[in-house]
Structure 1
Amino acid sequence: MKLLIYTPHITSRIEYTTALLFGTIGGLTVQCTKDKAAFINTTHCFKINYTAAPVCSLELWIQPHGLLEQEDIAQQQILVTQWKGMPVFFGTNGHLPFDLLAASFYLVSRYEEYLPNQQDAYGRYAHTNSLAYQHNFLQAPLVNQWVAATIAMLQQQQPLIRIPKPDFKFLPTYDIDIAYCYLHKPLIQNIGGFIKDLFTGRINKVLERAGVLLMGMKDPFVNYDFMDAMHEICNLHPVYFFLLAQKRKAYDKNISPNNKYMQQLIRWLHKKYITGIHPSWQSNNSHAVVQQEISLLQSITGKPVTHSRQHYIKMNLPETYSQLLQAGIQHDYSMGYGSINGFRASVATPFYWFNLAANMATPLLIHPFCYMEANSFFEQHYTAETAAKELQYYHDITKATGGTLITIFHNHFLTEQKEWQDWREMYRLFILNNFPRVKKYH
């Protein structure tokens, strides 16, 4: 169904925002026009008037705030109020009490991250800076909710025109930061680990390491068959991201990407699923290192590498995304926080990155995640039981808006080691309880 939008100023920001809100999220065919007469005389479609005053009776009038007509980046005056039980800002006097387009653009473009801000201990944009955190809507896909409420208003104006509800999707993703706990590591590293565990009294780890290395027991981090079984049973299509740092340094602790067993694992998973690069901590400010890691993954799989997620969610705008685009990445999955769960861009739908520095849309498709188990455990200090409720909440609120739920798990959280058994079971039950089984599970 068509949506006609009247605006005297068709800017790159307006074109981008209207396409995202009403096309990608709303499922409508969107057209912007400067022709006032054509707008007034057009019938049999939804109409939004994005100007300073009403122009006809059968329209939804959204009065512009002005942000989408600007080309620069400047500090914005923001006052958060309420509309239909939802927080809103950039208040104006239209049929909506705020500029939906400008507010959505501000959130999705991550406008606030281009402004001076405080970084966290890892040199990342601190979530405490964000409008969503400060006004308690970080846990909501607010843009999707705004769009749903706006489309309902359009539907009330023209009840004979039906709009299908968007379909909910679930995309499980995995970061393979440490592919093996003990196997395929240098001898000196295993000896050092053995001594450290011995002197710190972790006898269970001493015995576990010995069992794997000397007695052929299964490495506890090798849980790929468990994940694979869940995907098969529920017909899920995950994405795996591999850390391929050439040097073991700082937060880059995977085994060597040149190890034949590491490469065999990547090839095995690549046969069934999408695989992507997990750019190392060391690569963050080096295009050459990013390109080296991408080229290595490409040589292992024999296919172009187009999917990526930053290790430790270490990213800065616009530098990180510009670097990925230059390296041939088409899909990025880093839009979320590595310090708290929630909707960093306040949206639960993949969207194209708008580069504010260049004031233009780009072909890089951003897949926002809202839940990472490491945030639940390390940052929010949740038990597996509390984390299960949190994950279910994100499932339910995303499903209600017809968005895409993207989760992050790590293979070393899904082990059968005693300290992680509850987390493995939490994830297993979440998958089996929420997604239709296409195969029997025993």
Structure 2
Amino acid sequence: MKETGTDTVLVYASQVTARMRYIFKELFPLVALTDSREQFAAYLGVKICYAKEKFCNNTLWIVPYGLLEQENIRSQEITFGEWKKKKVFFLTGGDLPFDVFSAAFYLLSRYEEYLPHEKDQYGRYSHVNSIAYKEAFLDTPLVNEWMKLLEHELRERCSQLRFAIQRSKFSFLPTYDVDEAFSYRHKPLWKNILGFFRDLLQSKLEQVVERGNVYSGRKQDPYDTFDWIESLHEKYNLTPTWFFLTILKRGEYDKNLHAGSKPLQELYKRLSSKHNTGLHPSWQSGTDEWLLEKELNKLVEITGKPITASRNHYLRFTVPHTYRRLITAGITDDYSMAYGNVNGFRASYAAPFRWFDLERNMETGLVIHPFCFMEATSFFNQHYSAGEAGKEIQYYHDVVKKVNGEFITLFHNHFLTEQPQWIAWREMYEDFISRNFSREAFK
């Protein structure tokens, strides 16, 4: 096989499987797999021998652990080692001390989430079950870092050739969940009356005054921070994605205005006319499954545009069930890949990737967009101050930028108010944006 003039990486494996095709395509922009030794030996480009024995010079040799040849799901024996100061597992041999492709597949496929585990208080897979938490690399996009080191190994063997691994350029995507669009305004009079007396009995005098001023029209609703957020986007040339909670019935965790509310519809229509928009499936849709498509259809009706992105409320999802439901509903991109109780990299990866359905042993068209920072997690679960959260978001920005990944943040409109308890968080966010995305920051 002669060099074709492309940057294609050719991989030899004695048996080419669905798992191999998936993980190699995820990690290399251009890749081809072959089980022909003759074809592999004749190729003049970048090549990887993924086999028990090395049979060709000028190639990187990686010994398979065996996970990619399997078709079932079973507990795996995981032993950790170190390679170039990075944690590694699925130790084998060859030019690398571990099977980087099996390890990457294990993390991206969320293999461990298919195994028996205890759930958290919301019925979600808990971060304490994960090897990333147990081995203290939850704050690291480990797969991206492995790929950068792998690229170095390949360039040492083929320095004159051009090729690429993963993404080639850092990007930033600010995202927002609208869980509750308004604190007081547009809510029924009886709710505000009950709230008024509740706050009065609890001596929350600031809220009593605030509620009265908002309901009388003398002051803007504190949760209505949308114009301020939009001004940040315009000032720093950012393109956000909004996720709208579109409830058809209120519940304990679904407290937004009803989807039939005219003010809510006007807000959603205005924001979606300028920016990318996704559905924020309600908590109840995880139990009453018929709600998902109804909420999606309602948001399409409100915005007048197709909706193909989603992020689950409270990050409540399970694999493979939730992802299959999203695919059936017509969702092509999901942004739920993170933990609700701790910030970090749930899949140890900082770039979009397609979901692989382990039970069916097949790749799907659903694209997963992992994020690593949510302000509510910093506050409620990690108990950080705004200043500590500012250092945390900056850390995640820097580590993702270092691996040329996609840095996605999650904020809520009700966290960015000018209320005394939240003003420091608003200032922290504005400071982070101006420090990293102003014209001066790129000089």
TM-score grouping bracket, smaller chain normalisation? over 0.9
Mapping of 1:70-89 within 5 angstroms? 70-89=70-89
Which residue of the other structure, out of 384, 388, 391, is the alignment partner of 1:389? 391
Instruction: Find the residue that maps to 2:326 and give its secondary structure.
Output: helix
Specify the alignment match of 1:343 in structure 2.
345
Letter in 1 for 2:38: A
Conservation of the 8 A alpha-carbon contact between 2:171 and 2:406: yes
Structure 1: which 4+ aligned runs deviate by more than 3 Å?
162-165
Give the distance between the partners of 2:108 and 2:334, measured in 1 at CA. 14
Are 1:276 and 2:273 counterparts?
Answer: no
1:163 Cα shift? 4.2
Give the distance between the partners of 1:419 and 1:187, measured in 2 at CA. 26
Conservation of the 8 A alpha-carbon contact between 2:343 and 2:378: yes
TM-score scaled to structure 2, two decimals? 0.96
Give the distance between the partners of 2:283 and 2:289, measured in 1 at CA. 12
Specify the alignment match of 2:4 in structure 1.
none
Instruction: Find the residue that maps to 1:48 and give its secondary structure.
Output: strand
Give the distance between the partners of 1:120 and 1:307, measured in 2 at CA. 26
Give the distance between the partners of 1:339 and 1:157, measured in 2 at CA. 43
Give the distance between the partners of 2:198 and 2:84, measured in 1 at CA. 57
1:437 Cα shift? 3.9
Q: How many residues align?
A: 432
Specify the alignment match of 1:147 in structure 2.
147
Are 1:9 and 2:10 counterparts?
Answer: no
Letter in 2 for 1:34: D
Letter in 2 for 1:368: P
Mapping of 1:234-273 within 5 angstroms? 234-273=236-275
Letter in 2 for 1:430: F
Which residue of the other structure, out of 204, 207, 231, is the alignment partner of 1:205? 207
Letter in 2 for 1:101: F
Give the distance between the partners of 1:107 and 1:270, measured in 2 at CA. 34
Give the distance between the partners of 1:169 and 1:35, measured in 2 at CA. 38
Conservation of the 8 A alpha-carbon contact between 2:8 and 2:163: no
Give the distance between the partners of 1:85 and 1:262, measured in 2 at CA. 51
Mapping of 1:17-36 within 5 angstroms? 17-23=23-29, 29-36=30-37
Mapping of 1:305-324 within 5 angstroms? 305-324=307-326
Give the distance between the partners of 2:392 and 2:86, measured in 1 at CA. 20
Is the alpha carbon distance of 1:191 and 1:437 closer, same or farther for their aligned partners in structure 2, counting shifts above 3 Å?
farther
Residues 80-112 of structure 1: CA deviation (Å, up to 9, x unaligned): 111111110000011110001100000000000
Conservation of the 8 A alpha-carbon contact between 1:235 and 1:437: no
Are 1:133 and 2:133 counterparts?
Answer: yes
Letter in 1 for 2:10: L
Which residue of the other structure, out of 368, 371, 374, is the alignment partner of 2:370? 368
Residues 388-434 of structure 1: CA deviation (Å, up to 9, x unaligned): 00000000000000000011000000000011010000000111110
Give the distance between the partners of 1:180 and 1:277, measured in 2 at CA. 18
Specify the alignment match of 1:431 in structure 2.
433
Conservation of the 8 A alpha-carbon contact between 1:22 and 1:147: no
Uncovered stretches (5+) of structure 2, i.e. residues with no partner: 1-6
Give the distance between the partners of 1:32 and 1:162, measured in 2 at CA. 18
Letter in 1 for 2:168: P
Give the distance between the partners of 2:352 and 2:236, measured in 1 at CA. 22
Per mean C-alpha deviation after superposition, the further-off stretch among 363-372 and 161-170 is 161-170
1:226 Cα shift? 1.0
Specify the alignment match of 1:63 in structure 2.
63
Letter in 2 for 1:425: E
Conservation of the 8 A alpha-carbon contact between 2:178 and 2:412: yes
Specify the alignment match of 2:332 in structure 1.
330
Give the distance between the partners of 2:49 and 2:212, measured in 1 at CA. 71
1:216 Cα shift? 2.7
Letter in 2 for 1:75: S
* Identical-pair percentage: 49
Give the distance between the partners of 2:39 and 2:161, measured in 1 at CA. 20
Letter in 1 for 2:47: K
Residues 40-86 of structure 1: CA deviation (Å, up to 9, x unaligned): 1111x111000001111100011000000000000000011111111
TM-score scaled to structure 1, two decimals? 0.96
Instruction: Find the residue that maps to 1:125 and give its secondary structure.
Output: coil
Letter in 1 for 2:260: N
1:287 Cα shift? 3.1
RMSD: 1.1
Specify the alignment match of 2:355 in structure 1.
353
Conservation of the 8 A alpha-carbon contact between 2:177 and 2:242: yes
Give the distance between the partners of 1:155 and 1:106, measured in 2 at CA. 26
Instruction: Find the residue that maps to 1:272 and give its secondary structure.
Output: coil
1:305 Cα shift? 1.2
Give the distance between the partners of 1:162 and 1:227, measured in 2 at CA. 41
